């Protein structure tokens, strides 16, 4: 018997809603990305989207790592640790064999290929070169630095007078001291570094899709709501659900609360046209019980967590479903 109450059906039903009722929209692609599609003899994808949706997960009922396809937990953990470090250079991820941000660094490299100052290499060759380089090398700094994206805004928001604001440290302090506050918000959307609002050369490589999030303390539990302005349902959202659920668990742990709900609120949530078939296959699969995620209880400072402090138990997903990422610059 199919358990239609399984929380993963929120995700699957949203996918069906988009396929059935979404609006088709063309996308903006930078010239160097358009050329990649031309070289492969392919048309760039479009998206089918809806606007304004919400799903939520009770974290006491299991860790919401989707089961209708295998989700890359290693990448989720390393990416969140990268954010929490305030880092914005993808070498950290590449060095740990996490390649979810490679496309944006490679896009930077392709710009120099276009003007003839760098030879054409594959993205795999690019990643191998990054591994060989020191983090302070010209190559890594020029191509792998993505600008003031998520982690930099969370931990090093640049303010007047040269100050840097650590939103995470402030947030944790306020949760501990005044948990009933409704002003505990972390924001990654900084207009000073976005598109034409930024000074020349200072724009982020990817304007934040998950733009703002807010914890709430009620009945001894810490819940968290994320507002995501733009959401790639097939590739990105499974990652985002798990990542911000993990963040909720970490914040609860270091402030002395039990995890509550993760609430995921979407602006434009969409499926790329080259993911339609994979999405339909995923919808046809029956969800399985969510796994359990355990964290090292001895770590009490959010800055001290390492990859080995996390253990996933009883994860039994359906097989992986692959899809090509579309690097369009955050539109």
Residues annotated as catalytic (active site), given as ranges: 209
CA 19/CA 21 separation, integer angstroms: 6
Start-to-end CA span in the chain (Å): 42
Q: Which residues pair with 311 in a beta bridge?
A: 294
CA 13/CA 90 separation, integer angstroms: 34
CA 154/CA 156 separation, integer angstroms: 6
CA 318/CA 284 separation, integer angstroms: 11
Q: Minimal CA–CA distance to 27: which of 195, 267, 204, 232?
A: 232
DSSP string for 42-108: -PPP-EEEEEEEEEEEEGGG-----SSS---HHHHHHHHHHHHTT--BTHHHHHTT--TTHHHHHHH
Q: Minimal CA–CA distance to 156: which of 181, 188, 202?
A: 188
Q: Is residue 80 within 8 Å of residue 246, measured between CB atoms?
A: yes
User: Angle at Cα 55 formed by Cα 53 and Cα 60, nearest 5°?
Assistant: 165
Burial zone of 232 (CB within 10 Å; 0-12 exposed, 13-18 middle, 19+ buried): buried
Strands 47-58 and 23-25: antiparallel
């Amino acid at each position: 018997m199919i358990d239609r109450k399984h929380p993963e059906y929120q995700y699957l039903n949203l996918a069906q809603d988009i396929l059935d009722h979404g609006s088709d929209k063309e996308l903006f692609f930078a010239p160097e990305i358009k050329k990649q599609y031309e070289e492969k003899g392919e048309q760039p994808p479009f998206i089918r989207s809806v606007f304004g949706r919400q799903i939520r997960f009770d974290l006491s009922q299991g860790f919401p790592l989707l089961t209708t396809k295998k989700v890359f937990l290693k990448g989720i953990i390393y990416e969140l640790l990268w954010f929490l470090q305030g880092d914005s250079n993808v070498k950290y991820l590449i060095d740990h064999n996490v390649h979810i941000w490679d496309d944006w660094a490679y896009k930077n490299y392709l710009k120099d290929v276009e003007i003839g100052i760098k030879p054409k290499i594959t993205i795999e060759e690019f990643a191998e070169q990054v591994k060989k380089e020191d983090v302070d090398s010209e190559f890594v700094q020029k191509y792998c630095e993505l600008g003031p994206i998520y982690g930099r805004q969370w931990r090093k928001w640049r303010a007047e007078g040269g100050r840097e604001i650590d939103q995470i440290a402030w947030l944790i302090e306020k949760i501990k001291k005044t948990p009933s506050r409704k002003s505990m918000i972390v924001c990654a959307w900084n207009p000073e570094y976005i598109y034409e609002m930024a000074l020349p050369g200072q724009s982020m490589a990817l304007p934040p899709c998950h733009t703002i999030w807010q914890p709430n303390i009620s009945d001894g539990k810490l819940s968290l709501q994320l507002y995501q302005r733009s959401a790639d349902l097939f590739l990105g959202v499974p990652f985002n659900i798990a990542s911000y659920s993990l963040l909720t668990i970490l914040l609860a742990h270091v402030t002395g609360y039990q995890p509550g709900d993760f609430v995921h609120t979407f602006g434009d949530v969409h499926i790329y046209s080259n993911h339609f078939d994979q999405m339909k296959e995923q919808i046809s699969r029956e969800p399985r019980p969510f796994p359990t995620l355990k964290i090292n209880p001895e770590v009490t400072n959010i800055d001290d967590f390492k990859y080995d402090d996390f253990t996933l138990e009883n994860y039994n997903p359906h097989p992986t479903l692959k899809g090509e990422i579309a690097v369009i610059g955050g539109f």
